[in-house]
Amino acid sequence: MIFSLLNVRKKTAAILAGLAIGATCLWAISAWQNISREELIDILLASLLMLGGVMVIALVAVAGFKLVVRLINRVFSVNRPSSDRD
């Protein structure tokens, strides 16, 4: 593969190859369907915005879940008698 000549890691080469293949596919579909460059960029930006929103919501959900678990653990550890504590 051409990336082996550039002395890059396998993961980096896979990412670069995936991006190149994806860009080529998008270009071919846009040429085939007569989609303008501006429309393609708008679709790409909207997709990235949606992906970012999903990531933010996932992070907030995980943080909220961990906060609830910590609060529950704190409540139960306070109610325990002192002889049960380590």
Q: Report domain extents, the chain.
A: 1-35, 37-86
8 A C-beta contact, residue 29 and residue 15: no
| pLDDT interval class at 22 (50, 70, 90) | confident
8 A C-beta contact, residue 66 and residue 73: no
| Residue 3 pLDDT greater than 80, yes or no | no
**Is the full-model pTM beyond 0.75?**
no
25-76 pLDDT tens trace: 888 888 888 888 888 888 888 888 999 999 999 999 999 999 999 999 998 8
